[in-house]
Amino acid sequence: MRLVFLGTPEPAVASLDALVAAGHEVVCVVTRPDRRRGRGAELSPSPVKVAAQAHGIPVFHHVRDLDGVDAERGVVVAYGAMIPGPVLERLPMLNVHFSLLPRWRGAAPVERAILAGDEVTGVDIMSLEVTLDTGPVHAEVRVPVGQKTASELTGELARLGAALLVEVLASPERLQHARAQKGEPTYAEKLTSDTFRLAATMTPSQAARIVRLERAWCLIATKRFRVLTAHEGENVHAAVPGSVVAFGPHVGLAMTDGILWLDRVQPEGGRPMEASAWWAGARLASDATWS
């Protein structure tokens, strides 16, 4: 099948690679423009652009560049922008969406599923519509969330979604008979820096879910402090929420109804390290607090 592919981040690469491996003719790729991805001034291409160039596929940076492109269908995976209605009218598109629709429509479905404590999530192949993630679903795979981090869960969904996409494209029955979404929609709002900030008013369970997003932070001694891995525990020591607690080699953040025990951390300006090593070198007062 002659396809166009629209995608940007690393999780979208699995679907592009799967389409090529399955023998589809990907006539072009549309991805977001090159941008600065570090502290330097040099622009870097998106992971999808790198993969497309490796396959020898022409790359465009705007949906308008699809005008006049001869293709049967489009495939969208985490492209990062809405597709205009006139484009969809001319070129029907499938979307690989990392949730069980209509739950978690929007920009951050994996992270929102983890934050909400969902036990199960999945990936849907749906027909794209002008409205946000409302299209009928052609196929679905469900997976347990467990204690997976955001990157682990996203990687799993990307692999499953790529395989499911190829199956759908190979099945006229699935392509022609999609089911309407059923249930109450929830929306996966974009993530901000505050999404990842830990607070003493949280329970350790809530905080541990934020840590699994892999960008958790707080302030200790007015400096930004990253929590890389941690686990929840009971407040058997009656520590005051907002205090930093240390018992032997164990260091934690006291919260409502418990303690978030730190495993690996990264202090501002420092390298990732074991929490016990950080505490030994930090030389903070015994009544140190965090916020």
- Which homologous superfamily does the CATH classification assign to the domain defined by 193-282? Formyl transferase, C-terminal domain (3.10.25.10)
pLDDT at site 237: 73
Q: Which helix (H) or strand (E) segment is 173 a member of? A: helix 172-176
Q: Which range is least confidently modeled, 55-59, 201-205, 278-282? A: 278-282
The Cα 24–Cα 270 span in angstroms is: 47
What is d(CA 139, CA 63) in angstroms, rounded to the nearest whole number?
26
pLDDT confidence band for 42 (50 / 70 / 90): confident
CA gap 195, 217 in Å, rounded: 10
Q: What is the pLDDT of residue 99?
A: 98
Give every CB contact of residue 164 below 8 A, 6+ residues apart in sequence: 96, 123, 125, 139, 140, 141
In the prediction, which pLDDT does 40 show? 66
Residue 13 CB neighbours (<10 A): 23
- Whether 73 has a pLDDT exceeding 80, the answer reads yes
Q: Domain locations in the chain?
A: 2-188, 193-282
Overall CATH class of domain 2-188: alpha beta
Round the average pLDDT of the chain to a whole number and report it: 95
pTM of the predicted model as reported, rounded to 2 decimal places: 0.94
Interval 152-167 mean pLDDT: 98
